[in-house]
């Protein structure tokens, strides 16, 4: 930061790490950069040579920024003039940070890569602390630290990854004055900016309140990265490890959502994605119907208006739960008819759509062990009993796959108290997915106690070397199954065999310990699973006998039957005696 900006800089400068701000190539590139270590950046560069080419407004400010930055901007505009505030990409900080600057505010999703999924893959590959995204986040903080005006301004950090700074106590190292936990709309956040502008000392950490109703949430009126527009906050299923569920359950008003969609399009965005923990609660929050019976008409109406907005060429789903697919398969079908034509995702070997399009929301599977599920997420499958979790997963996935939804499903490995039996139960479910020809992109991650959750103080597995052979096997089996659609070429399987064994010899053997060896051989396909089982080196899941959709519906409490839609079929009838939850398994093949 050598040259002084001609106007003395802006009073408030907002930014985010480059890797979190780019609006290029869709969600996957950012997820990959959160998980791959920096030494693998070349792969991203080769696949997406233009990923660093960002777009600008005329004044040099960022054409797009993550939705979090946009809301901080919007929140501040309630009190400050627009020419006092700018949102810019990291490389452009020298254009805007000057003697006038009093606050540099950074929004970050995952600055140090210590969250679930992201941490585990970098640690498998050897450098647990430096995913690509983390490298760029640190670079941003280093740039701010080196500013010649650093003594004149305060650095405030917020966003869903702020807790990582608190937990690792990296304030000094990264030159951060204050981390805000919570939303920018809150009056406490504004108060903090006021203090910073007055040059007052800031507390290290501030927890601010979440708005309790729809009216308290602001919407972006400029372009957001990937066209992210909030749809809901909170969730309601109360999983113990979950952060977003700690927020109040709110579904945001359609007119505001649509305004933000139009604002994105006006500013050149062709893609929209509604941010939510569970898209299916929208339209059913605080109504007379429990939120876990989706409001089909409202959802179809909302998504229809979004994809039919002139200028919206692409739409991607974010998060959802799986039980709604069992509750209302027709809703899934109707949404597919609407959303598939605008989906940028293609699964040539899986999709039955004429253009091979697919939908891929992120859904939590977490565990196949009912014992574990009861402990950590007893309401994950409501309205169904958690006893039926494996059935809900399999039936939900069947409905989704039939409609060309191929979700990314997360699994948590190494939950506190997880036994070999629990892992075996999860492996059983994964094999059952394979046996039934179902497909989900399975993303196992090592349990990470997230700040403020009800599992914050609990400890599971902390390093890949601590994983048991079964836990490794579960991870590698998931990855092996993920590669199925990519293995239809003659060279695919061979490349994997040679590649994985080479990688093991070169780097991974020492890092991940001996428990990793046989599961890796299983993953590579160098030895068949049957052979490995005969050698006693792996466990091949046993077939599961689970409930059908009709049996699942019949197991609901009769008072809930009124919320089922008859046009889906399988309606329970009075006098039906549901089977006892059948966890019985037949013998191993």
**Which of ligand SF4, ligand B12, none does residue 67 bind (CB under 5 to 8 Å by kind)?**
ligand B12
Nearer to ligand B12 among residue 158 and residue 396 (C-beta): 158
Q: Supply the minimum distance, in Å, between the C-beta of residue 110 and ligand B12.
A: 4
Q: Supply the minimum distance, in Å, between the C-beta of residue 56 and ligand B12.
A: 18
The pair of structure tokens assigned to 116 is 């679930």
- Among 378, 367, 478, 377, smallest CA distance to 423 is for 367
The pair of structure tokens assigned to 237 is 């299923």
The answer to whether residue 234 forms part of the interface with ligand B12 (CB under 6 A) is no
For residue 556, the 8-state DSSP code is: S
- Among 116, 86, 107, smallest CA distance to 98 is for 86
As a whole number of angstroms, the distance between CA 554 and CA 576 comes to 7
Q: Supply the minimum distance, in Å, between the C-beta of residue 118 and ligand B12.
A: 4
Site residues for ligand B12, window 46-85 (CB under 6 A)? 66-68, 71-72
Q: Supply the minimum distance, in Å, between the C-beta of residue 54 and ligand SF4.
A: 31
Query: Which span sits near ligand B12 by CB under 6 A: 220-228, 351-359, 365-373, 534-542?
Result: 220-228
The answer to whether residue 415 forms part of the interface with ligand B12 (CB under 6 A) is no
Query: Which span sits near ligand SF4 by CB under 6 A: 47-55, 77-85, 235-243, 349-357?
Result: 235-243
Query: Which span sits near ligand SF4 by CB under 6 A: 231-239, 346-354, 367-375, 485-493?
Result: 231-239
As a whole number of angstroms, the distance between CA 93 and CA 88 comes to 7
As a whole number of angstroms, the distance between CA 155 and CA 410 comes to 34
Binding-site member from 242, 332, 552, 554 for ligand SF4 (CB under 6 A):
242
Binding-site member from 120, 239, 252, 365 for ligand SF4 (CB under 6 A):
239
Beta bridge partners of residue 390, listed in sequence order: none
Draw the binding track, 377-416, toward ligand SF4 (x: CB under 6 A; -: no contact). x--x------------------------------------
Site residues for ligand B12, window 246-285 (CB under 6 A)? 275, 277
Phi then psi dihedrals of residue 577, to 5 deg: -105, 110
The pair of structure tokens assigned to 535 is 């050698």
Binding-site member from 61, 101, 107, 284 for ligand B12 (CB under 6 A):
107
The answer to whether residue 244 forms part of the interface with ligand SF4 (CB under 6 A) is yes
Query: Which span sits near ligand SF4 by CB under 6 A: 173-181, 237-245, 255-263, 354-362?
Result: 237-245
The answer to whether residue 117 forms part of the interface with ligand SF4 (CB under 6 A) is no
Draw the binding track, 306-335, toward ligand B12 (x: CB under 6 A; -: no contact). ------------xx----------------
Q: What is the DSSP string of 221-287?
A: SS-BGGGEEE-EE--SS--TT-SGGGS--EE--HHHHHHHHHHHHHTT--EEEEE-S-GGGTT-TTS
Binding-site member from 57, 127, 152, 160 for ligand B12 (CB under 6 A):
160
Beta bridge partners of residue 224, listed in sequence order: 65
Query: Which span sits near ligand SF4 by CB under 6 A: 98-106, 150-158, 232-240, 350-358?
Result: 232-240
The answer to whether residue 184 forms part of the interface with ligand B12 (CB under 6 A) is yes
- For the stretch 299-306, contacts whose Cβ atoms lie closer than 8 Å and that sit 24 or more positions apart, written own/partner, are 299/331, 299/335, 300/331, 300/334, 300/335, 300/338, 301/254, 302/254, 302/257, 303/335, 303/338, 303/339, 304/338, 305/254, 305/258, 306/257, 306/258, 306/261, 306/272, 306/274
Binding-site member from 118, 325, 340, 400 for ligand B12 (CB under 6 A):
118
Is residue 518 within 8 A of residue 538, CB to CB? The reply is yes
Nearer to ligand B12 among residue 76 and residue 554 (C-beta): 76
Binding-site member from 15, 35, 453, 555 for ligand B12 (CB under 6 A):
35
* Alpha helix positions (H), 537-581: 549-554
Q: How far is CA 372 from CA 183, 378, 379, 388, in A?
A: 32, 9, 12, 13
The answer to whether residue 102 forms part of the interface with ligand SF4 (CB under 6 A) is no
Site residues for ligand SF4, window 307-366 (CB under 6 A)? 321, 364
Nearer to ligand B12 among residue 299 and residue 556 (C-beta): 299
As a whole number of angstroms, the distance between CA 424 and CA 444 comes to 14
Binding-site member from 235, 265, 400, 521 for ligand SF4 (CB under 6 A):
235
Query: Which span sits near ligand SF4 by CB under 6 A: 241-249, 290-298, 421-429, 487-495?
Result: 241-249
* Alpha helix positions (H), 6-109: 18-21, 27-35, 41-47, 67-76, 93-96
Q: Supply the minimum distance, in Å, between the C-beta of residue 115 and ligand B12.
A: 4
Three-class DSSP category at 138: helix
**Which of ligand B12, ligand SF4, none does residue 544 bind (CB under 5 to 8 Å by kind)?**
none
Nearer to ligand SF4 among residue 242 and residue 443 (C-beta): 242
- Among 369, 419, 420, smallest CA distance to 393 is for 369
Three-class DSSP category at 485: helix
3-state SS, one letter per residue, for 375-428: HHCCCCCCCCCHHHHHHHHHHHHHHHHHCCECCEEEEEECCCCCCHHHHHHHHH
As a whole number of angstroms, the distance between CA 418 and CA 466 comes to 13
Element (H, E) at 363: strand 362-366
Contact positions vs ligand SF4 (CB under 6 A): 235, 237-239, 242, 244-245, 277-278, 321, 364, 377, 380
User: Rule CB under 6 A: which residues touch ligand B12?
Assistant: 19-20, 27, 30-31, 33-35, 66-68, 71-72, 105, 107, 109-110, 115, 117-118, 133, 156-161, 180, 183-185, 189, 225-226, 228, 230, 243-244, 275, 277, 318-319, 450
């Amino acid at each position: 930061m050598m040259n002084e900006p001609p106007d003395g800089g802006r009073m408030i400068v907002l930014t985010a790490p480059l890797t979190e701000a780019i609006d290029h190539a869709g969600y996957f590139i950012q997820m990959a950069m959160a998980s791959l270590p920096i030494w693998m950046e070349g792969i991203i560069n080769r696949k997406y040579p233009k990923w660093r080419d960002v777009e600008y407004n005329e004044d040099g400010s960022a054409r797009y920024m993550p939705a979090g930055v946009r809301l901080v901007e919007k929140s501040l505009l309630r009190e400050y003039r627009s020419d006092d505030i700018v949102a810019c990409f990291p490389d452009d900080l020298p254009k805007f940070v000057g003697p006038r600057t009093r606050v540099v505010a950074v929004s970050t999703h995952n600055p140090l890569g210590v969250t679930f999924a992201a941490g585990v893959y970098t640690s498998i590959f050897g450098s647990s602390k430096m995913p690509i995204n983390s490298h760029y986040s640190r670079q941003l903080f280093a740039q701010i630290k080196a500013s010649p005006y650093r003594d004149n301004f305060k650095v405030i950090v917020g966003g869903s990854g702020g807790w990582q700074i608190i937990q690792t106590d990296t304030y000094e190292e990264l030159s951060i004055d204050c981390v805000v936990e919570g939303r920018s709309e809150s009056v406490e956040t504004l108060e903090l900016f006021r203090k910073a502008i007055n040059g007052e000392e800031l507390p290290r950490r501030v927890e601010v309140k979440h708005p309790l109703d729809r009216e308290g949430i602001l919407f972006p009126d400029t372009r957001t990265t990937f066209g992210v527009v909030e749809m809901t906050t909170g969730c309601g299923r109360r999983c113990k490890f979950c952060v977003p569920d700690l927020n109040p359950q709110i579904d945001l008003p359609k007119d505001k959502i649509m305004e933000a969609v139009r604002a994105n399009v006006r500013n050149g965005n062709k893609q929209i994605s509604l941010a939510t923990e569970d898209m299916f609660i929208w339209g059913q929050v605080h109504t007379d119907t429990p939120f876990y019976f989706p409001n089909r008409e409202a959802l179809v109406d909302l998504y229809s208006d979004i994809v039919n907005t002139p200028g919206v060429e692409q739409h991607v789903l974010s998060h959802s739960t799986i039980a709604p697919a069992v509750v209302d398969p027709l809703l899934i079908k109707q949404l597919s008819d609407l959303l598939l034509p605008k989906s940028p995702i293609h699964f040539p070997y899986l999709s039955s759509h004429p253009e091979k399009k697919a939908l891929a929301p992120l859904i939590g599977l977490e565990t196949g062990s009912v014992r574990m599920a009861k402990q950590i997420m007893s309401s994950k499958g409501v309205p169904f009993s958690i006893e039926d979790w494996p059935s809900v997963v399999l039936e939900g996935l069947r409905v989704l796959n039939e409609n060309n939804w191929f979700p990314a499903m997360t699994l948590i490995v190494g939950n506190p108290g997880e036994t070999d039996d629990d892992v075996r139960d999860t492996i059983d479910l994964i094999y059952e997915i394979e046996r039934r020809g179902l497909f989900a992109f399975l993303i196992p991650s090592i349990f990470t106690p997230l700040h403020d959750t009800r599992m914050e103080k609990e400890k599971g597995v902390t390093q890949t070397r601590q994983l048991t052979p079964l836990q490794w096997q579960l991870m590698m089996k998931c990855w092996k199954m993920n590669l199925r659609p990519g293995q239809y070429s003659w060279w695919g399987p061979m490349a994997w065999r040679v590649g994985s064994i080479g990688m093991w010899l070169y780097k991974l053997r020492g890092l991940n310990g001996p428990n990793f060896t046989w599961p890796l051989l299983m993953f590579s396909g160098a030895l068949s699973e049957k052979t490995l089982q005969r050698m006693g080196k792996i466990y091949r899941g046993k077939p599961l006998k689970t409930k059908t959709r009709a049996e699942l519906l019949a197991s609901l409490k009769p008072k809930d039957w009124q919320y089922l839609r008859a046009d889906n079929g399988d309606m329970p009838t009075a006098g039906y005696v549901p089977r006892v939850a059948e966890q019985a398994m037949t013998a191993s093949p």
